Amino acid sequence: MKFTTTPDKTALVFSPWEIRPGTPVTVSYSYVEKREWTWDSDAAFNDVVEGTPYTTSVKCEYPIEDDKITITGSGIYIDPISKGLIDLTVYDKRETSATIIAVAAISSTAADYYNDWFYNEEGVATPMTIVPLTLQQNEQDYKPEDFTISYSQPERGISVINDETWTCDSAGTVKMTSPADDFSMSRNLFRAGVTEVEVPLACTIEPILRYTFLNGARYKKVVDVDLQDWDGTTYDVRGILWHRDYLYTLTSGGLFSFSRWGNFDTPDFSYPEVIGNDLTYALDDKFLISSGGAIKVYSVLHDFVHYHKDTEVIRHREYNAQFRIDE
């Protein structure tokens, strides 16, 4: 977590593979407010602030011994110090929270946080995930450790292909690690993917595809960005399985497959009739799908090429596995 680097913007910034755009995030943080009084110090001071005060947060032009200050919750009581009218300041700590929908730093329609991006493993600019904040006025400088966040994207699936271990969470973020060559990769499934977008001239994404103009002068520029937003429908991802160079992904909208050699943005095939909560593989090309308290057994047909012996004719079928539920 860090603060945005885009000028004149206030937000928390996260990797899109840590928090995916569109995720509700609850942000809690503390800040310090200041209250001031003119105190007749020949009499006792007794007042209440809204936050939490401390003995050390009571300030005035004369030193006040700690044993003369009593803090009870948000209440402050100070014994007389006999210095006449003096200025008194109390700093108190306050807590607040808000639930905010995370957004992409750069989307197909906006580039409000145009400085908050990075190049992925393929050299394509990838927007960070932004949690916009309207901060309370603070008498101290905000620091990242002042903030705590909570969100729900639980880990859901794990599968292995060769030496690679793949995991997936409920938001469709897959992460791969390979102990063989110490390589790792992360991708968001069902995302918009590489798209031409318009960004401000101050944005430093390269290469520039072209410029847009307003009244004969350069207005903005167009670049390629790997958008991490959901591409249309948002799914609850429930499990993954590698099978024959396809990553099969079980979701609330059925089963989808992604090619191992693709970009993991748009699925190659979909099977909306295959529903359930998790999946695994059994011998003889069978997928086992848990559904409620039962297990559904699906036979997978890979008959992509049909050879007719009598006529010696080869028929090529669509390269798409077919699922048939076993009775």
Model confidence over 139-196: pLDDT tens digits? 999 999 899 999 999 999 999 998 899 999 999 999 999 887 778 889 999 999 999 9
Q: What is the mean pLDDT of the chain?
A: 91
CB 135 within 8 A of CB 10: yes
Helix, strand, or coil (residue 124): coil
Give the closest residue to 238 by CA, choosing from 189, 195, 300.
189
* Residue closest to 155 by CA, chosen among 18, 300, 299: 18
pLDDT digits (tens, 9 = 90+) for 267-315: 999 999 999 999 999 988 889 999 888 899 988 876 556 667 788 777 6
Kindly give, in sequence order, each residue whose CB lies less than 8 Å from that of residue 75, ignoring residues fewer than 6 positions away.
46, 47, 48
Q: Coil, strand, or helix at residue 67?
A: helix
Specify whether the backbone of 276 is left (phi greater than 0), alpha (psi in -120 to 50) or beta: left
Q: How far apart are CA 130 and CA 25, in angstroms?
A: 10
- Cis? peptide before 207, omega within 30° of 0: yes
CB crowding 289-303: b at 16 or more within 10 Å, else e: bbeeeeebebebeee
pLDDT in tens, 14-44: 999 999 999 999 999 999 999 999 999 999 9
Note the pLDDT of residue 184.
87
- Write the burial class of residue 131 (CB in 10 Å: 0-12 exposed, 13-18 middle, 19+ buried): buried
Q: Do 141 and 64 form a contact (C-beta atoms < 8 A)?
A: no
- pLDDT at position 327 is 40
Instruction: Give per-residue pLDDT as tens, 38-89.
Output: 999 999 999 999 899 999 989 999 989 999 999 999 999 999 999 999 999 9
pLDDT digits (tens, 9 = 90+) for 95-120: 999 999 999 999 999 999 999 999 99
For residues 323 and 274, the answer to whether their CB atoms sit within 8 Å is yes
Task: Provide the residue type at 42 as one letter.
Answer: D
- CA dist 154 and 214 (Å) reads 46
**Residue 303: its pLDDT value, please?**
58
pLDDT at 326 over 90: no
Residue 94: what are its φ and ψ, rounded to 5°? -125, 150
As a whole number of angstroms, the distance between CA 192 and CA 271 comes to 20
Taking only the tens place, the pLDDT of each residue in 36-45 is 999 999 999 9
